[in-house]
Amino acid sequence: MKYGLIFDLDGTLVDSLLGIAASLNRALALSGLPTHPPERVRGFIGNGAQVLVERATPVGSDETVLTIVGQAFKADYDLTWPQGTFPYDGVVELLESLQAQGYPLTVLSNKPHPFTEAIVEKVFPAIHFSVVLGQRTGIPHKPDPTGALEISSRIHRGPGNCIIIGDSTMDLETAHNAGMSAIAVTWGYQDRERLVAAGAQLIANDPAGLEMLLLTPTKYAI
């Protein structure tokens, strides 16, 4: 039985930093708030749109400000994300290879669900993902295991037969909480040192290296 593969989206499959930073800064500017260079926005990404806005706004911003900026960000991003969202080099070829070998491919993201679906469909039109889940109202997001376990059930793989692949310590924590294996990738938004410090045991430095890890007979560490 092929392992079920659960990919993170931002920082793992796609480089969306410039698109997120541009929309976020336009939303902040509309409210007269300070903007941030993309490298700083890089550290805001990973916990969903609400936390992104909370991290980007001045400390102590009230709920009204957070709501206004959040709504402006989502409206802007809905129109402009294709201009700043690209697959990482080698990712399309990796997915095509894994698909041809019969691996169930899925996506689990903390990005709002409509954006997650739209990006996957636009950026990877030739790839069949069995399940694509973003952040949904009323459903706890990563590192809560709910989404990962839903995917496990929908692809008919037990948690022990699923691997979460992501660029953040949150993905590692999600895998641990779900009783799944994990592979960390270093080309995304968190440094290798943070991944190692968080307990990453399997680490890929590029998509070719990730495929080698997946195809090498080994016991995946949970």
What residues act catalytically? Answer: 8
Instruction: Report the relative pairing of strands 86-87 and 14-15 from DSSP bridges.
Output: antiparallel
3-state secondary structure of 20: helix
Residues in the chain: 222
Phi, psi (deg, nearest 5) at residue 192: -55, -40
Task: Count the alpha carbons within 13 Å of 160 in the hemisphere toward its beta carbon.
Answer: 1
Amino acid identity of residue 141, one-letter, is H
Nearest-Å Rg of the Cα atoms of the chain is 17
Amino acid identity of residue 63, one-letter, is E
Task: Count the alpha carbons within 13 Å of 79 in the hemisphere toward its beta carbon.
Answer: 10
Strand ranges inside the chain, DSSP E: 4-7, 14-15, 86-87, 105-112, 131-135, 162-166, 181-185, 203-204
What pairs with residue 183 in β-bridges? 165
Both structure tokens of 117: 């679906």
Distance in angstroms (rounded) separating the CA atoms of residues 73 and 20 = 9
